[in-house]
Amino acid sequence: MAAQRRTRNISIPPELDKRMDRFPEENWSAVACRAFETRLTTLEAMNTTGEGKNIARLRASKQAATDQLFQQGQRAGIAYVEVAEWEELERLDRFWDELPSYGLPDDYSIGQLAVVMDGDGDARETEDYLREKYGSVVDRASWIHGFCTGAIKKYNELRSKI
């Protein structure tokens, strides 16, 4: 049985609220959860001693690096929509919808994603394009997750206008 989610109310400045309203499709609760997780990891590192402090510090460092990779991937996914074909984006969207709730496995590769996007085409061409443009980060699960999230979000914004 899944853990029940709790609700917390937060206050935000009116100007921030207006800016957030420009992106109604964004899952602001998920954004806040990531920010809370990052801050809690930092606080835990500061309030621990001995070996636990090293573990907490490294956990905070890992979380920060993972978040940064996700954001880089998300920006890359949004940019990819500018060069992608409609069929690629449709396949990516269907693939994402069919994923289990826990998402991509940690060992998922950019090559596997290229196969999904290309269908019967030359997956190597897509993989090579992404590697050449973004480097070795494309092999990291956080980057791939961000890429998919960014591409699908941008595609869904455009889909109704096609």
Sorted by where each begins, the domain ranges of the chain are 24-159
Q: Which of 6-15, 29-38, 47-56, 151-160 has the lowest mean pLDDT?
A: 47-56
The confidence band for 46, taking pLDDT boundaries of 50, 70 and 90, is confident
pLDDT (mean) for 133-152:
92
pLDDT digits (tens, 9 = 90+) for 70-124: 999 999 999 999 999 999 999 999 988 887 776 778 788 898 899 988 887 678 8
Nearest-angstrom CA–CA distance, 137 and 143: 7
What is this structure's pTM?
0.71
Alpha carbon distance 123, 117 (integer Å):
8
The mean pLDDT of 49-67, rounded to a whole number, is: 83
Give the HSE-up count for residue 100: Cα atoms under 13 Å, Cβ half-sphere.
3
Q: Give the residue among 102, 127, 104, 128 at the shortest CA–CA distance from 117.
A: 127
Give the type of residue at 161: K
Looking at residue 150, its pLDDT comes to 94
* pLDDT at 93 (0 to 100): 92
- Altogether, the residues listed in the chain come to a count of 162
Please answer whether residues 124 and 90 qualify as being in contact, where contact means their C-beta atoms are separated by less than 8 angstroms: no
CB 80, CB 151: distance < 8 Å: yes
Q: How far apart are CA 150 and CA 126, in angstroms?
A: 17
